[in-house]
Amino acid sequence: MLKEPQIEAFLRPSDSASKFSILIPSWNNLPYLKLCIQSIEKNSAFKHQIIIHVNEGIDNTLQWVKDSAYSYTYSSENVGVCYALNAMSKLVRTNYILYVNDDMYLAKNWDLYLDQEIALQANHLFYFSATMVEFDGGSNKAILAPYDFGRTYDTFDESAFLLFAASHPKTDWFGSCWPPSLVHKEVWDKVNGYDVDYTPGFYSDPDFAMKLWEIGVREFKGIGKSLVYHFKCKSTGRVIRNNGRKTFAKKWGIPSSFLYKEMLLMGQTYDSQITLKKPNAFKMFLAKCKAWYISIT
């Protein structure tokens, strides 16, 4: 069991009309954090509660967050995304929790398209993601790539990206499993947020999706019109990686890749006539064998 870190929290009065509570973990990444929040303030159709977790904050992030009057949590060391998200979730004052990385720029009306999907739901058993636009890659069908609008915050071509976002919506897709990600607070609370056994956070996203699956969520939908630009600023390269692949396999008895491909159909075009379900017994058997191998290696 990991030692519980010391985390401070400060809740600012929030607008009663706020639509989502946006959780943003940040680790000495102030220029990107500023740009991310600028995009939220500039491009949102609704008002939102913004909550930031400051890991270390040795680049003046903590002082900037205080001066900017946002709700925040703070740890003097980097506690990773799982502890950060769970701490921030205690300050949530809306019905919906949206997890956003600090190296993302959200396009015009990103929230409107998510809200429109919420209005179509009969219950709270859904997990939505906005669609990422990235400057390289292209093999993952859930992502729009390669579309290069700048690889760093100071080379970002905001105007070109906003024009692109307005004219190049992606089709909706199966397999919502990463930020920007949206769930109802009741669902978040039911699964107790993120599992800190994945600290600092690798593979915590598929684990969260699997926990949602276990309580009956089957609507894992990526929203093609809700676009964000992802800088991939590689904060993860500064930490010692946890063996999340192994942790996931031992915990759930299947590989995370099986969850993505066979259960969530990640990247496939969304079809409301298809209900996500576990594959046949033979595929499940093979998946369990692979998970056993991963867990012992």
| Contacts of residue 223, Cβ cutoff 8 Å, sequence gap at least 6 | 113, 114, 117, 128, 129, 130, 131, 172
Query: In this structure, are residues 202 and 242 in contact, taking their beta carbons and an 8 Å threshold?
Result: yes
pLDDT, residue 274, reads 96
What one-letter code names the amino acid at 124?
A: H
DSSP class of residue 47 equals -
Whole-number pLDDT of residue 168: 87
Closest by Cα among 165, 36, 46 to 108:
165
pLDDT tens for the chain, residues 1 to 297: 467 899 999 999 877 789 999 999 999 999 999 999 999 999 999 999 999 999 999 999 999 999 999 999 999 999 999 999 999 999 999 999 999 999 999 999 999 999 999 999 999 999 999 999 999 987 889 999 999 999 999 999 999 999 999 998 899 999 999 999 999 999 999 999 999 999 999 999 999 999 999 999 999 999 999 999 999 976 766 778 899 999 999 999 999 999 999 999 999 999 999 999 999 999 999 999 999 999 999
Q: Does this model's pTM top 0.85?
A: yes
Q: What pLDDT score does 2 carry?
A: 62
Number of residues that make up the chain: 297
**Residues 8, 12, 15, CA angle at the centre, nearest 5°?**
145
Q: Which amino acid is at 263?
A: M
Residue among 86, 88, 177 at smallest CA distance from 127 = 177
| CA–CA separation, 296 and 208 (whole Å) | 23
Taken in order of first residue, the domains within the chain and their CATH numbers are 8-296 (3.90.550.10)
